[in-house]
Amino acid sequence: MGKHASGLLLFWALILCLVVVGCSGAGTSAGNDPAKALNSISIAPNTVILTVNTTQQLTVTGKYSDGSQADVTNSVNWATSNASVATVNPNGLLTAVAAGTAAMTANVGSVSATASVTVNTVPKTLNSITIAPSQLTLPQGSTRQLSAAGNYSDGTQGDLTSTVNWSSSNAATAAVTATGLLSAAGTGLATVTANYSSITASLGVVVNGTGANIVTWHYDNGRTGLNPNETTLTTANVNSNDFGKLFSYLVDGYIYAQPLFVSNITIAGTPHNVVFVATENDSVYAFDADQYGNGSPLWKVSLLQTGETPQPPKAIAPYQGITSTPAIDLTSNTMYVVSAQKATGSPFFRLHALDLSTGAEKPGGPVAIAASVPGTNGAVNGVVSLTTACIQRSALLLANNAVLIGFGGCSSGWLLSYDAHSLTQIGVFNTGPTADVYGQYGGGGGVWMGAGGPAADANGSIYITTGDGTYDGSTNFGNSAMKFNTQLQLLDHFTPYTWALQQCTDSDLDGGGVMLLPGASEILIGSKNGKMFLLNTANLGGMQANDAGATQWLWFEQDLAPASTTTCTDDHGNVLTGQTSSYQIHGTAAFFNGTAYVGAMPSQAPIPGPVRQFIYGSGQLTPGSATAESIQPGSYGTTPFVSSSGSTNGIVWVLDHGAPLQNFGNLPVTSAILRAYDAANFPAELYNSSQNASDAPGLGIKFTSPIVANGKVFIGTGHDPVATPHPQGELNVYGLKN
């Protein structure tokens, strides 16, 4: 055969081969067998449940007409019904995108199959449990609802209070129910545990005994000055033979603030009865109230930061640091303190929240204190601002989850309110933003209250008194008693109709504080002209002629040294005439068994300056007996304190400051005198510290007052005269000698 014929034969052979191959592929999907056709396909798995961001490999199996099967995963065409929920790539890899449902379809020609897909969110797991509160000190016999929160892997939190298993390491001290209700059954320590799904959390609980906790000035927010839980000191054993000074702690500055006391608090792992002291050197101390040891504190902290010193001297020398009495919140184990300090710039105030067990600053604190209101009195560009020309003398008040702070001694008075948890400012009130500042001291209604503090009633209303200043009934409230809510919205007020005369003669209402009469809707206040006012808290009375708005007014001593007429010409040439007396009230009353005890200072010698009882009945006060012992002129009076066991063994404690540090007449400074009187046989004196030389306290400090707790009496005094470099303070502790 020739070459031409051979090539032609090869060409036709190739054509025949292509025709055969092409025919064999028709009606089949994967094989080369012309007799085998694809009947169906299936996806495995057919139902898929995934969580977000996970994957699943899908597999497609083809079933043929001859009964055979083959993997055709990479031969099919893939599609998703909802790509926002799940996607699939050409190789059948499924990816979960978001929660929801979708259908995955695979097809080959006219043959198809579908798989259903459900995508769920990531399952959360419990990482930890948090118990609130995080630490707890309770008085015996009280209860507290605990809460437990679950902290989950997705960052969320849920309430597990009724889900966890609650238990106590010492149910005799602190028992806890299945719902987290804690009962303080007995004194001591306990650990409460919450357990769920192998996760646990614990809370340390301290239960104080029946001994008192004195966590604020004058014992309680009503400023009653009564500790009714004193079972150790009685009228039988408080005498010069059995009772006296036990020891004294020295501190780094004068103690103007009243000491505070907490029973059975755990410090460094050991329970103590603790007395807390704040000094003018901006230090806070925690001392064991029962055991002197070597005189060292359980802890001490300085509130001064690097480069700071206490504020330079003004009304208080040789420097001014912590002047007001702090306030303690036992629920959160927190002490609130205001300090005054100076760095390179101007002096300023700070509010601190200290851990009661360590003295450490709590999260969120301290915060600098600032305030401003529109006005003209000392204003800059129409704005009146709080400055350290003011003194933060009035005791702090903790009420309605707020810390109330008063300022005076400057051109106008201030009352500020801070949230106790966040330390953010929630209220500002200025008592004289447009006041015409004149008079002996040029005040505009200062809030210093003779070292007392704002008071609070059971409804949460706040009460203060203000000092020298003008009054207009709308903006300026000098010489007034005032009622606020926590946000410092003014609710009511009382102002003596002789306010202008009192401004002229410096005989305002702010030499002492407010006392709420227990069981009555009335407050008792006094003025520096010896006049006392009983006011109805539901209607303080405003300013009315002859003080008709008051429930009652009376003079401290009308039967001892009657009031007389006085005249004063003010800075505007106005001649003012009215009544005054020979007494000044520089303190706050105490109340026990239906009787108020009030201290007064004579305006001049030889008039006696006694402590006097006023019996309360039918909504009125009736003057009663007075002590023979006299408070000296220039000593700034006294604030009594009463201890008792219920209604029995009432003892009226009085701190006679003598000639105190920085006294009015610049007299030689003397030691204070602690006095005790039998309330049931008033004014019979049970004891005074001058009866034994070893019982003498330190130097008197004006406006300070004693406290009594757990068989001890605590007073703050000075150890050194003002002229001494870095003068020390002295905490004197009295009790039974044996």
Residues 269 and 135 in one domain: no
**Residue 409, CA distances (Å) to 16, 38, 250, 686 in order:** 119, 101, 29, 38
DSSP E strand stretches across 29-92:
38-44, 47-51, 55-57, 59-64, 69-71, 77-80, 86-88
Could you identify the residue written with the tokens 């907490």? 262
Q: Would 674 be classed as within a structural domain?
A: yes
Sheet strand arrangement including 397-399: 397-399, 402-407, 414-419, 425-430
- Residue 170 has which token pair? 């010492």
Average pLDDT estimate for 226-250: 95
Residue 378 lies in a domain: yes
Q: What would the pLDDT profile of 308-365 be if each residue is shown by its tens digit?
A: 999 998 889 999 999 999 999 999 999 999 999 999 888 999 999 999 999 999 999 9
- At 311, list the tokens: 């504020």
* pLDDT tier, 139 (very low <50, low <70, confident <90, very high otherwise): low
Q: How far apart are CA 374 and CA 149, in angstroms?
A: 45
Q: Which residues pair with 71 in a beta bridge?
A: 61
Mean per-residue pLDDT, 161-166 = 92
- Rounded Cα distance, 358 and 333, in Å: 10
Residues 161 and 260 in one domain: no
In a domain, 32, yes or no: no
**Token pair of 330 as six digits:** 């036992």
Last residue of a domain, one of 98, 120, 142: 120
d(CA 132, CA 130): 7
Joined together, the tokens standing for residue 373 give: 């209101």
**Residue 19 CA neighbour count, 13 Å, CB half:** 6
Could you tell me which of 452, 448, 400 has the C-alpha nearest to residue 427?
400
Q: What is the pLDDT of residues 625-665, one digit of tens each?
A: 999 887 887 788 899 999 999 999 999 999 999 889 988 77
Domain assignment of residue 326, yes or no: yes
Q: Is the pLDDT of residue 6 over 60?
A: no
Give mean pLDDT, residues 383-394: 94
Residue 569: count of CB within 10 angstroms of its CB? 10
Question: What mean pLDDT do residues 587-608 have?
Answer: 89
Q: Which helix (H) or strand (E) holds 11?
A: helix 3-25
Instruction: Determine phi and psi for 449, rounding to 5 degrees.
Output: 60, 30
Please give the single-letter amino acid code of residue 380. V
pLDDT value at position 439?
62
Q: State what percent of residues in the chain have pLDDT above 70.
A: 93
- One-letter-per-residue 3-state SS of 504-573: HHCCCCCCCCCEECCCCCEEEEECCCCEEEEEECCECCECCHHHCCCCEEEECCCCCCCCEEEEEECCCC
Of 443, 451, 449, the C-alpha closest to 465 is 449
Q: Tell me: do 52 and 138 sit in the same domain.
A: no
The CATH number of whichever domain residue 244 belongs to comes to 2.140.10.10
- Residues 75 and 195 reside in one and the same domain: no
pLDDT, residue 35, reads 66
Closest Cα partner for 553 from 592, 587, 576, 581? 581
pLDDT(3) > 70: no
- Report how far residue 612's alpha carbon sits from residue 638's, in angstroms, rounded to the nearest whole number: 11
pLDDT at 630: 75
Render pLDDT for 28-54 as a digit per residue (tens, 0 to 9). 444 445 568 889 999 998 888 888 888
Whether 44 and 175 map to the same domain: the answer is: no
- Domain membership of residue 19 (yes or no) is no
Q: Which of 293, 287, 292 is nearest to 246 (CA)?
A: 292
**Whether residues 91 and 114 fall in one domain:** yes
Element (H, E) at 24: helix 3-25
CA dist 280 and 320 (Å) reads 5
Confidence tier at 672 by pLDDT (50, 70, 90): very high
| pLDDT value for 4 | 43
Tokens of 562: 């009657």
Q: Which pLDDT band, with edges at 50, 70 and 90, does 206 fall under?
A: low
Give the helix/strand (H/E) hosting 425.
Answer: strand 425-430
pLDDT at residue 26, rounded to an integer: 34
> Per the domain annotation, does 697 fall within a domain?
yes
User: What are the tokens at 348?
Assistant: 């300023």
Compute the distance between CA of residue 275 and CA of residue 212 in angstroms, rounded to an integer: 12
**Which H/E stretch holds residue 22?**
helix 3-25
| Amino acid, single-letter form, for residue 25 | G
Residue 188 has what pLDDT? 66
| 408/454 same-domain check | yes
Q: What is the rounded distance in angstroms from the CA atom of residue 35 to the CA atom of residue 65?
A: 8
Q: 455-456 and 425-430: which strand pairing?
A: unpaired
Q: Quick check: bond before 318 cis, omega within 30?
A: yes
- Assigned token pair, 551: 């429930």
Show the domain range for 430. 226-736
H helix or E strand, kind and range, residue 17: helix 3-25
For 657-681, what is the mean pLDDT?
90
Are 541 and 607 found together in one domain? yes
pLDDT (tens digit per residue) in 700-731: 999 999 999 989 999 999 999 999 999 999 99
Write down which residue in 120, 140, 160 finishes a domain. Answer: 120
The structure tokens listed for 412 are 């106008």
Q: Decide if pLDDT at 539 tops 80.
A: yes
Residue 143 CB-half CA count within 13 A: 8
On whether both 247 and 197 belong to a single domain, the answer is: no
| Percent over 90 (pLDDT), the chain | 70
Collapsing DSSP states into helix, strand and coil, what is residue 20?
helix
pLDDT tens digits along 440-487: 666 789 999 999 999 999 899 999 999 999 999 999 999 999 999 999
Whether residue 512 is predicted with pLDDT greater than 60 in this model: the reply is: yes
Residues 25-39: b if buried by 16+ CB within 10 A, e if exposed: eeebbebeeeebebe
Tell me if 407 sits within 8 A of 453, measured CB to CB: no
Band the pLDDT of 415: cuts 50, 70, 90.
Answer: very high
Cα separation, 710 vs 454, in Å, equals: 26
pTM for this model (two decimals): 0.74
Work out whether strand 309-310 and strand 515-516 pair parallel, antiparallel, or are unpaired: unpaired
Conformational region of residue 269, where left means phi above 0, alpha means psi within -120 to 50, and beta covers everything else: left
Q: Which residues pair with 139 in a beta bridge?
A: 208
CA distance 503 to 256: 26
Looking at the structure of the chain, the number of domains it has is 3
Tokens standing for residue 607: 């008039």
Mean per-residue pLDDT, 366-370: 98
Task: Please give the Cα distance from 539 to 234 (Å, whole number).
Answer: 39
Q: Residue 300: pLDDT band by 50, 70, 90 thresholds?
A: very high
The verdict on 189 and 329 lying in the same domain is: no
Give the pLDDT score at 22: 39
pLDDT at 86 over 90: yes
Residues forming beta bridges with residue 117, ordered by sequence position:
48, 102
Q: Is residue 639 part of a domain?
A: yes
Beta partners for residue 465, in sequence order:
481
**Measuring CA to CA, which residue among 337, 371, 372 is closest to residue 355?**
337
Omega before 45 within 30 of 0, i.e. cis: yes
Average of per-residue pLDDT values in the chain: 90
Residue type, 547: D
Give me the CATH number covering residue 137: 2.60.40.1080
Say how far apart CA 295 and CA 276 lie, in whole Å.
14
When pLDDT is averaged across residues 521-544 and rounded to a whole number, the result is 96
Separation CA 482–CA 493 (nearest Å): 4
- DSSP-assigned letters across all residues of 62-77: EEETTS-EEE-TTTSE
Domain boundary among 120, 142, 158: 120
Using CA atoms, how far residue 360 sits from 66, 284, 303, in Å, is 85, 11, 10
Whether residue 351 is contained in a domain is answered as yes
Q: Does residue 158 share a domain with residue 101?
A: no
3-state secondary structure of 19: helix
Among candidate residues 424, 251, 418, the one with its CA nearest the CA of residue 322: 251
85: domain CATH number?
2.60.40.10
pLDDT of 90 above 80:
yes
Q: Looking at the structure, tell me whether residues 139 and 284 fall in a common domain.
A: no
